């Protein structure tokens, strides 16, 4: 299990950042290098069940993810099946005078993957940071 937390200041309105980073149905269109496939299974209120393929750390993970949104302040993801079952991801969105502070907290649990090689030398946190940078560029333009 690996856990990391980081923050990113994005020079865009919180609502815009939130809508962009929680629009998992379009991830494969806006970030295909990370999300080659997403498929929404069900939506009930602010809860969704989504099949996701995430390409990160040189691997493609297949996951069933439960997304819970509390617009525009919180997005929680529970990986309920697949390669990363048990993983928990929390994204918080704080409005700032000139933008949004995005705080990402990830607690990884992986099955059948050599964790040292997968997480070695901050590989996964760096990949997540790059992914958030991509979202920031999209939100700021």
User: pLDDT at position 116, please?
Assistant: 43
User: pLDDT at position 113, please?
Assistant: 55
Q: Are strands 88-96 and 47-56 parallel, antiparallel or unpaired?
A: unpaired
- d(Cα 2, Cα 39) in Å, to the nearest integer? 26
Predicted TM-score (pTM) of the model is 0.88
**CATH class of domain segment(s) 2-140:** alpha beta
Instruction: Tokens for 44, please give them.
Output: 């009930």
Low-confidence residues of the chain, pLDDT below 50? 115-116, 119, 121
Burial label, 129 (beta-carbon count in 10 A; 0-12, 13-18, 19+) = middle
- d(Cα 70, Cα 104) in Å, to the nearest integer? 15
Q: Are strands 74-82 and 59-70 parallel, antiparallel or unpaired?
A: antiparallel
User: pLDDT at position 38, please?
Assistant: 96
User: pLDDT at position 57, please?
Assistant: 78
User: pLDDT at position 17, please?
Assistant: 96
* H helix intervals, the chain: 14-21, 27-30, 115-119, 123-140
């Amino acid at each position: 299990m690996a856990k990391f937390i980081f923050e990113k200041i994005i020079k865009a309105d919180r609502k815009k950042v939130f809508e962009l980073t929680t629009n998992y149905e379009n991830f494969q269109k806006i970030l295909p290098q990370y999300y080659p496939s997403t498929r929404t299974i069900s939506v009930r209120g602010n809860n969704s069940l989504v099949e996701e393929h995430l390409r990160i750390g040189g691997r493609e993970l297949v996951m069933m993810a439960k997304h819970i949104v509390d617009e525009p302040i919180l997005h929680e993801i529970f990986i309920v099946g697949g390669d990363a079952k048990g993983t928990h991801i929390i994204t918080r969105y704080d409005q700032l005078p000139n933008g949004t502070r995005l705080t990402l907290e990830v607690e990884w649990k992986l099955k059948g993957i050599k964790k040292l090689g997968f997480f070695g030398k901050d590989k996964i946190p760096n990949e997540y940071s790059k992914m958030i940078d991509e979202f920031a560029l999209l939100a700021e333009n």
